[in-house]
Structure 1
């Protein structure tokens, strides 16, 4: 605030010491240019109220002032505006004609959309050559048929589950009572019920049961439950 008061005092002293043209028929009383005075007064009031300083002033009206006096007034006004901006800590605005510079040395920035940059290094002939090189490097991959599933993959437990409808434990096939003692040991050889059911079907099941994987004759080995796949298919159909 002290800098601002000092700047205002400098402005008043400089204005008082500057010679002014004699009073004539120009607008206002005691001023050669009332519009300019009003603009400077509005700028001072804006500074006192905490607003941005007014740096744009209206053009000087035609008056009888001498060129030396007009130049002196402009110089005083410029110095006062600079002092006010320095007191407020406001950085001077960049010139409107200043062009934004682009760092073309940055490898992460592409200038392919910059017409001036591209036209400076490319021509119609070079562009045609570049497109020809790209065309030569183009590789067209022709579509191929989807490979068919080989028929040697073994039984599909999902298809078998959807082809049956009876529950677990309902006997459908004849079984020998002599194989029940080795049922649990044989089922422990498989890591999952699906693998046991697949092996059971590959060895002649569900009609035949060589390893006693299905002692109750329901067609499901080692406690395998087809209801999981049936429910999933029913949910997919929206039933």
Structure 2
């Protein structure tokens, strides 16, 4: 009897247990194999289809948006303007002259230039202000004795150092000779510029002026 009651109890428990849900139920297919095959086909098709372009809220595509229509300005360097040299004449260029001149215009220009041509007559040289007593060129051409030949008396009490200091005070020997002549030279040497008495101050040499005149 106990075995019978135990079997009845198990059958009652089995009847009260909830049914096992079907994993393929509710998908609209008769079996799970058909569902799985269709699902794989859909997944394979999604990988090959292009992405759908989402439109903005205003309905315009990306190419129609104001930002897409904005043209980017490309910075280009300013074109260099041709620069001519107004100081160089092109009168020797036949192509340049023939493009703007004719035989008649060239003859008119030549006649106009000839009418403006003036001959300047030579005039006398200007007279040196204050006389020619300090003209080193005239003095060099008016003498013929060499440097170092004593012609004038000088005092032997003057030192050589004082003479060198005096000569060092002039920017050139020509200026020293000019000052020597203006001070009474060559007869007198008040400035101690000609201690040897040759008539030439400091280290001045008349030879370059004489050579030019020859």
The TM-score bracket by the shorter chain reads 0.3 to 0.5
- Larger CA Rg, structure 1 vs 2: 2
TM-score after normalising by structure 2: 0.42
